[in-house]
Amino acid sequence: LLARGVQHTAVRQAHRKHEPDFHDKYGNLVLLGGAAVFTAVWGYVFTQTGIEWGLSPVGRITPKEWRE
């Protein structure tokens, strides 16, 4: 009896029209907004903060004189 009730509910829900939820309505807009904020923040970090991005020590480290 219980399994028949579950089947009946599943069939009834399958025939119902799909109502758009939040993600259907605003998903692409939220994705584009997040991409814009991400790009703006990292654009600022790369251009304005003065971080030196050269990570290679070649040419910056000079050897000390050897003492015996």
DSSP string, the chain: -HHHHHHHHHHHHHSSPPPP-HHHHHHHHHHHHHHHHHHHHHHHHHHHS--------TTT--PPPP--
Task: List, for residues 16-57, the tens digit of each pLDDT value.
Answer: 677 888 888 999 999 999 999 999 999 998 888 777 766 776
Domains and CATH numbers, the chain: 1-49 (4.10.51.10)
Q: Please state the pTM of the whole predicted model.
A: 0.49
CA pair distance 19, 63, nearest whole angstrom? 70
**Euclidean distance between the first and the last CA atom of the chain, given in angstroms as a whole number:** 94
Look at residue 38 in the predicted model and tell me its pLDDT. 97
